[in-house]
Structure 1
Amino acid sequence: MGPKFLNKHTKSAEQSFYCKLAEVPHTYDQFHYHKEYELLYVLENNGTRFMGDSILPFSNDDLVLVGPNLPHYWQSEPKYYENNPLLSAKLVLIQFETDFAGKDFFDLPEMKNVKKLLHAAHRGVKVKIKFAKKIKEKMIGITEKTGWNQMISLLDLLCNIGESDYELLASEGFSQSYYKSNNEEKISNIYNYLVQNHHRNLTLAEVAEHANMNASAFCRYFKSVTNKTLSESLNDIRIGIACRKLIDTELSIAEIGYLCGYQNVSYFNRQFKIVKNINPTAYRMKHLSKMYREPEVV
């Protein structure tokens, strides 16, 4: 069915938006979209984040604002599916409609940075981790408030994020290209299949068969939905998973490349640099040095 539309109910007689501190076995793992904005802070979880046509690893302190109708999901690593009672995904989830504070509220001059932020969220906004840590306690605290205190806290969060350093995730034309497609194939099922089998030598014929399509029809559909070819998306998935292994493990570059589906370390290095503009060794050194340099925010 393409990305699944979820009909949310964020408003009630008691509140204007939805807010929850959640602990679940793993994040919701289907490519989906909804008409509400979604602000999600990952407290404990890691895996791969799909945001439109952006495929990147995520871990603790990942803070993202998703705009209306932008297909997305966070896929937890396989260990979260092993029914380990000591392992769970913990997050703060806030969902709100465009007019939750009033029809023209964000047109006020004082709200110009928030209005800009909400517009940017149509491509998915990733808040830089250093700033995310600074507002972590505010994100947790909002779930403990009620009434006008909770409303003011959300506006405070949006104002703070609007003035922060953030980056856009999905490409500019992704949403438009998706809604031009009349196909009803299960893109989430395709992505899950690619993630689960990224280490193998996947062929176009195999993936097309999994999607119950012939190869040429699948190519046209997949490109219209994602703005990328199957090989480009598979490469993005492999590189995203490789990034996580470079940071979280001490495996060699060659071992990581092999585990991510690259039989040749030189080819892995070339593909990694195409996607990340840096080679795997430099990427590992850069991110590890950031982890050791960056002070903890209390």
Structure 2
Amino acid sequence: MDDTKIKIMGVLNVTPDSFSDGGLYASFETACAQAEKMIAEGAAILDIGGESTRPFSDPVSTDEELKRVIPVIEAIRQKHDIPISIDTMKMEVAKKAIAAGATIINDVSALRGDPRMGELAADTRADVILMHMQGTPADMQVKPTYDNVVEEIIDFFKERIDYALGCGISRDRIIVDPGIGFGKNLAHNLSILKHLDRFATLGLPVMLAHSRKRFLGEITGVQAEIERDIATAVVAAVCAAKTIDYVRVHDVATTRQAIRLAEAIDCAR
């Protein structure tokens, strides 16, 4: 089923308060069932998160985050060899997630949140996703400001990539994510989408994590986050003509259909 050039990362929020699906998969049983569904629908990677990073969210304790994610990672790994990403800013959570079977660290702070995270990634040879965020989840949407959002994100990545390399993380294990909706307004998000090809100049795989974000509702008028999957799929299809390697989405099946169609058109003579 994993038959697209752009690889699909399925989002599994094991939280009661995530912005679009908080509470839907907070129990062990519902989380495992959703993981099975996304794998069957063609997810190439599963991204497991136990702490919401929605705008104005508060952090949770390490113990609570571990309690949410570790049993789910263990259960998935017992049945599947699919790559598993742990979405966390905490080194202790990432460490135990890797011991449970995760192979990727998805750090929205780009290794800034916990100074031990870079060393852990180097020691365990985990892949690392470095995401751009202006501010923190608690304040990032108060008044995001840029002179040139795309070029400033690229400069940020250059510094963070150098930092990651300095930690001992090999370059072939780094993915960058421009951070749609993380300290960006509608104009910023649209500029990122228009100029996605610029991020290829970094020479690293690029991931776009736009699924169900508020800017899609601002454009389409669809207010309910869970009803923004068509808009999410359209953006994923646009990525087929861009230099994007991964899309991180909640609805794997709809996104896969859109990508397959867009890639077929792109490959036509």
Q: Which has the higher strand share?
A: 1
| TM-score > 0.5 by shorter chain | no
**TM-score using structure 1 length:** 0.29
**TM-score using structure 2 length:** 0.31
Computing the radius of gyration over CA atoms, which structure comes out larger, 1 or 2? 1
